[in-house]
Amino acid sequence: MKPRMATAKNTMTSTRNETVLAGLGLSKHYGDLQVLSQVEFSVGVSEAIGVVGPNGAGKTTLLSVLAGSVKPSAGTVILNGVDVTCLRPEMRCRRGIGRAFQIPRPFGGMTVLENVIVGAAYGARLPHKDLYKQCVAVLELCGLIDLANRRAESLGLLHRKRLELARSLATDPRVLLLDEIGGGLTDAEAAELVSTVKQVRHLGVSIVWIEHVVHILLQVVDRLICMDAGRVIAEGEPGEVLRDAAVADAYLGKSRT
Ligand SMILES: Nc1ncnc2c1ncn2[C@@H]1O[C@H](COP(=O)(O)OP(=O)(O)O)[C@@H](O)[C@H]1O
Ligand SMILES: [Mg+2]
Give the Cα-Cα-Cα angle 162, 163, 167 (nearest 5 degrees): 125
168-183 pLDDT, tens digit per residue, is 999 999 999 999 998 8
The whole-number pLDDT of residue 221 equals 96
Alpha carbon distance, N-terminus to C-terminus of the chain: 51
63-76 pLDDT, tens digit per residue, is 999 999 999 999 99
Q: How many CB atoms lie within 10 A of CB 173?
A: 27
**Cα(227) to centroid of ligand 1, in Å?**
13
Exposed / middle / buried, residue 241 (Cβ in 10 Å: 0-12, 13-18, 19+): buried
The whole-number pLDDT of residue 255 equals 52
Mean pLDDT, rounded, for 220-225: 96
- The band of 185, judged by pLDDT with boundaries at 50, 70 and 90, is confident
- DSSP 3-state percent helix, strand, coil across the chain (nearest 5): 40, 25, 35
Pocket test for ligand 1, best of 52, 61, 66, 69 (most atoms within 8 A of CB): 61
213 vs 48: which has the higher pLDDT: 48
Q: Quick one: which atom of ligand 1 is closest to the CA of 54?
A: 22
- The closest residue, in CA terms, to atom 24 on ligand 1 is 56
Q: Ligand 1: residues within 6 Å at CB?
A: 30, 33, 35, 53, 55-61
Q: Can you give the residue ranges of every domain in the chain?
A: 2-10+18-252
Domain 2-10+18-252 has CATH 3.40.50.2300: no
Mean pLDDT, rounded, for 24-31: 98
Q: Which bound ligand lies closest to the C-alpha atom of 228? A: 1
112 vs 157: which has the higher pLDDT: 112
CB half-sphere exposure, 30, CA atoms < 13 A: 5
The whole-number pLDDT of residue 29 equals 98
CB half-sphere exposure, 74, CA atoms < 13 A: 10
> For residue 151, which amino acid is it?
R
* Residues whose CB falls within 8 Å of the CB of residue 109, separated by 6 or more in sequence, listed in order: 151, 153
pLDDT at 60 over 50: yes
The whole-number pLDDT of residue 11 equals 43
**Cα(135) to centroid of ligand 1, in Å?**
34
Q: Quick one: which atom of ligand 1 is closest to the CA of 31?
A: 4
The whole-number pLDDT of residue 2 equals 43
Pairing of strands 33-44, 175-179: unpaired
Q: Are 58 and 36 in contact (CB under 8 A)?
A: yes
- The band of 160, judged by pLDDT with boundaries at 50, 70 and 90, is very high
Q: Quick one: which atom of ligand 1 is closest to the CA of 64?
A: 17
Q: How many CB atoms lie within 10 A of CB 68?
A: 22
In this structure, what DSSP letter does residue 95 have? T
**Cα(161) to centroid of ligand 2, in Å?**
16
pLDDT at 257 over 50: no
pLDDT at 16 over 70: no
The whole-number pLDDT of residue 218 equals 94
pLDDT at 14 over 70: no
The whole-number pLDDT of residue 254 equals 56
Helices (H), the chain: 2-5, 59-67, 89-94, 112-118, 128-141, 157-170, 187-202, 214-218, 238-243, 245-252
Pocket test for ligand 1, best of 35, 101, 178 (most atoms within 8 A of CB): 35
**Cα(62) to centroid of ligand 1, in Å?**
10
* Percentage, residues of the chain above pLDDT 90: 74
Q: Are 3 and 130 in contact (CB under 8 A)?
A: yes
**Cα(154) to centroid of ligand 1, in Å?**
30
The whole-number pLDDT of residue 157 equals 87
**Cα(212) to centroid of ligand 1, in Å?**
16
Q: What span, in angstroms and rounded, lies between the C-alpha atoms of 47 and 175?
A: 9
- The closest residue, in CA terms, to atom 8 on ligand 1 is 61
Q: Are 22 and 41 in contact (CB under 8 A)?
A: yes
The whole-number pLDDT of residue 17 equals 67
